[in-house]
Structure 1
Amino acid sequence: MTALRRPTANVTLRPADRPGDLGWVVMAHGEVYDQQFGWNTDFEALVAKIVAEYAAGRDPSREAGWIAEVDGERAGCVFLVAGDDPDTAKLRILLVTPGARGHGLGTRLVEECLAFARRSGYRRVVLWTNDVLVSARHIYQAAGFSLTDQAPHHSFGHDLVGQTWSLQL
């Protein structure tokens, strides 16, 4: 990944609707989580499944994805998809590449996601993550999410603690 941390960087958020965006989301997750946590391709496969389901059956009035760019280069993403009931949305696959951290991209992506959820009429947003993702957890807590459940699991080649977080809108 290219180092993108510059004080004069041009930071933008845009819809994840350009050719290559969805593939980049899968690739970036696979590479970053391997480099940072040693996670295997099972994680990349999970992200690919989430992205494929989004691409194949997205309701544009209730589901969206965003790409963060720094100086015109993809540097982060987040998706909001319909949950199991009509009042609940799921925040999925938040990522900011290591070289782009420090610009507030994660916070901006989550804020955009939550604003869309409110405009779309959702009453609640949930997400699933792992406790080792400390920076993401801080973003979720700052946005008002509360931890509702956690459980150990073995996934992506590691023993992890999965967490479910929820936010009432």
Structure 2
Amino acid sequence: MTPPRRARPEEAAALRDLVRAAYALYVPRIGREPAPMTDDYAARIAAGEAWVVEEDGSLLAVLVLEDFPDSLQLDNIAIAPAAQGRGLGRALVAFTEDEARRRGFAKVTLYTNEKMVENLALYPRLGFVETHRAPQAGFARVFFEKAV
């Protein structure tokens, strides 16, 4: 995997398209578009929160990281459907942990939808601990954290 780099302003539409493709399978499960599908990627890029992984000029993955007072929030990981199953998600989680330490945070936090059962199985295998479940913005969310 090439190292993640900050997304550029001219890539906002490409980030949105990649995220929409990656999350499309969840729409029938959740009954509506997951939050990452409707995010403002131009604003995320302007805030310095969006990262990408590319290969041969094609975007393979999008990562959104947000500074919280006590943690680095892993807001979104999206892998292009054609690039899934290659370990990019795990590599981006490891990158997030390194980035949290670099920024001086002691933990990474994240949440997922309770109907994204793949994530509910994956995050504990990566060392994340479920902290709670709660409705938020009309979604049934499951919250995790990991000390870094």
Q: TM bucket by the smaller chain?
A: 0.7 to 0.9
| Residue of structure 2 in register with 1:88 after alignment | 71
Q: How many angstroms apart in 2 are the aligned matches of 1:70 and 1:22?
A: 17
User: Equivalent of 2:3, from 13, 20, 23?
Assistant: 13
Q: CA shift at 1:71, angstroms?
A: 4.4
Please show how residues 89-128 of structure 1 align to structure 2 within 5 Å.
89-128=72-111
The structure with the larger Rg is 1
Please show how residues 31-110 of structure 1 align to structure 2 within 5 Å.
31-38=21-28, 40=32, 43=35, 44-45=37-38, 47-48=39-40, 51-58=41-48, 64-83=49-68, 85=69, 87-110=70-93
Which one-letter code corresponds to 1:111 in the other structure? A
The percent of aligned pairs where both chains have the same amino acid is 25
Q: Does 1:163 align with 2:148?
A: no
RMSD: 2.6
Gaps of 5+ in 2: none
Which one-letter code corresponds to 1:129 in the other structure? T
Q: How many angstroms apart in 2 are the aligned matches of 1:35 and 1:145?
A: 24
Q: How many angstroms apart in 2 are the aligned matches of 1:70 and 1:129?
A: 27
| Residue of structure 2 in register with 1:147 after alignment | 130
SS in 1 for 2:4: strand
Q: CA shift at 1:104, angstroms?
A: 0.2
Q: State the Cα deviation string for residues 132-163 of structure 1 (Å, max 9, x = none).
A: 223333442233111111135684xxxx5311
Q: What's the TM-score, normalizing by structure 1?
A: 0.70
Greater RCO, CA 8 A, separation 6+: 1
Indicate how the Cα distance of structure 1 residues 14 and 136 shifts in structure 2: closer, same or farther if over 3 A, else same.
same
| Residue of structure 2 in register with 1:30 after alignment | 20
